[in-house]
Amino acid sequence: MYLQVIDRVTTITKEDFRNNYFKPQKPVIIERFVNDWPAMSKWNLEYMSELAGDITVPLYDDRPVRHEEGFNQPHAKMKMSDYIDLLKKEPTRYRIFLWNILKEVPELQKDFSYPDFGLKLMKGLPMMFFGGQDSYTFMHYDIDLANIFHFHFHGKKQAILFDQNQTDYLYKIPHSLIVREDIDFANPDFDKWPALKKAKGFVGNLEHGNVLYIPEGYWHLMRYLTPGFSMSLRAIARNPKNLGKAIYNIFVMRHFDNLMRRMKGQSWIDAKNEKAVMNTHRKLGLI
């Protein structure tokens, strides 16, 4: 597995972004693009606790998917103030993801603006993500295959990315948006997962105020090196193939998968995990 370091720039013009990163669909980290946002000086864990401390938030960890769990069903719930106290106290696997700040804490909208990257951002969907030290997401791609602008605050975070052309090497689970959950992409076991030797991706670290551009449909894994949080803004997929795949995922794939979970239970999950290995190894002539 080869991971190329993601390009880093201090700032960038709309024209340079479109020509050098959006058109070739290449990730980039922009270090100081949002220095004029009030969020740069205000957004930290203490501020979030002050504004949203009484709100009960859904929490997720890194346990494997189970058939009885619904789509994006949380594993626990906690008041935001208690969760942030936990983040500051000790490492925890609990994360918050897809937390709509316009719905939950509309005051936060005063702290940022929608930047002009030359793409039409979906202004109704600014989503926040929180995590404790050493917590991480599974390798996945977003259901709508959107162009994602990921703004990180408070602490450090690592991103590992692969484009869709690398899917054959990643042990993708059928009828899902994830790969085998027992793969450790930070220290992969190539004896167990030999196809990963062929995978070529990107890696980069984010700090307070950095923006990561994740192109359409990119696989991504986020690991919190310290407690912190991020906000994502997104723009609809422009590639017709990606847009068609997004429509299929939203209106067909996820509903079919949920139906099969209800009908077959855990055997459906186990069979998909086995097929992820068989399909990958068969495509590469390993079986």
pLDDT tens, per residue, the chain with 287 residues: 999 999 999 999 999 999 999 999 999 999 999 999 999 999 999 999 999 999 999 999 877 666 665 556 778 899 999 999 999 998 998 999 889 988 889 999 999 999 999 999 998 889 999 999 999 999 999 999 999 999 999 999 999 999 999 999 999 999 999 999 999 999 999 999 999 999 999 999 999 999 999 999 999 999 999 999 999 999 999 999 999 999 999 999 999 999 999 999 999 999 999 999 999 999 999 88
What number of other Cβ atoms are within 10 A of residue 9's Cβ? Answer: 16
Spell out the domains of the chain, with CATH numbers in brackets: 2-283 (2.60.120.650)
Three-state DSSP string of 67-107: CCCCCCCCCEEEEHHHHHHHHHHCCCCCEEEEEEHHHHCHH
Question: What DSSP string runs through 18-35?
Answer: IIIIITTT--EEESSTTT
Q: Residue 50 is encoded by which pair of tokens?
A: 């002050």
* The pLDDT of residue 286: 86
Question: What DSSP string runs through 62-73?
Answer: SPPP-TTS-TT-
For the whole prediction, is pTM greater than 0.85? yes
Task: Tell me which residue of 37, 245, 50, 22 sits closest to 141, measured CA to CA.
Answer: 245
β-pair partners for 23: none
SS3 81: helix
Separation between Cα atoms, residue 157 and residue 207, nearest integer Å = 7
Q: Residue 185 is encoded by which pair of tokens?
A: 């992409």
